[in-house]
Amino acid sequence: MTESLNVGVIGAGSWGTTLAKISAENGHPTMLWARRAEQAERIAEERCNVEYLPNVELPINLQTTSDLQQIAEFSDLLVLVVPSHGLREIARQLGEFVDGSQCLVHATKGLEQKTHRRMSEVIREETCLRKIGIIAGPNLARELAQCGPAGTLVASHYDEVFRKGHAAFGNHYFRVYWGHDVVGAEVGGAFKNVVALAAGVLSGLGYGENSRSLLMTRGLSEMARLGTAMGGELMTFGGMAGIGDLIATCSSSLSRNFQVGARLANGDTLAQIQADMKMVAEGVKTSLAVREFARQHRIELPIANAIHHLLHEGGSVPELLSDLMAIPTGPEFAGLSR
């Protein structure tokens, strides 16, 4: 029989709410933390996160709170689902209330600015928690909230994290796989957002599947090049957190990063788009961290460079397309070890 867990999800956006919904539906006492007390209260009263996941009813055994100490003391398994730029501060606050016995799985797909730290590294620096993992895969929140069949990866060095992650989220429509390559899973989850920005641009310009397939294939190559340079395993990028997540994020209008790219192609400015969006498109900030890391370590990432130029150096959409089509051809797997 599956073990019963107290599951605490920190972050009440669409993805955090979806993971909390799945955990509660699986029969686990579940608590969802929202930054604002009024948001937590509204979710509890309406049994719905109207702001981020409208028209999705939440289970009665899903509690809400805005108190980090309460959720830390409640939880056997903590699930951290906050934007990358705010994760360090939340981890620092959480670190005051954990004792190291809990498992933690994060679902944040980004790299920290300036330090280029992966999210598990940030969590280790700011808390005493060591049983840490990541959940990453082709997981569009709205589809999963509506019980659409999907799969994901829980990567950790600790078997206890796999076991609890599977118990919390695995069910008849959500298949949870496991692996040990935390680095690869984190890099894959972060880098696919950069490629999705470019995919959105191509879609907004009216280009079809040939163009998207070219972009995704070469994007996967860059993901693997970056990931192996950071210490990830090449095979990871052929799985859920690599090609799986890349396909979903580059192919769906539900993807926030895809939406940003499409709107840029339609003439909106990045400032306008970000002002309109409730949720964070992680690829915008990740492109900065990736560019800095790649330059420091002399890694060739032409797609990431083209996106950086468009977003942060005053580039235009026509220039992006020109940059992408000017990428030199050559050996398909150059720069990748077997």
Enzyme catalytic residues: 192
| Greatest distance between any 2 Cα atoms in the chain | 59
Please tell me the distance from the alpha carbon of residue 106 to that of residue 104, in angstroms, as a whole number: 7
The residues facing 80 across adjacent strands are 10, 106
204-225 per-residue burial string, b: 16 or more CB within 10 A, e: under 16: bbebeeebbeebbebbbbbbbb
Hey, CA dihedral for 246, 252, 254, 260, is it positive or negative? positive
Sequence-separated (6 or more) residues with CB below 8 Å from residue 250: 192, 195, 196, 199, 212, 215, 216, 219, 258
What is the CA angle 32-35-36, rounded to 5?
Answer: 105
Map tokens 């996967």 to a residue.
Answer: 220
What residues contact 204, with CB distance under 8 A and at least 6 apart?
261, 262, 263, 264, 265, 266, 317
Task: Report how far apart, in Å, the C-alpha atoms of 266 and of each of 194, 261, 317 are.
Answer: 18, 9, 9
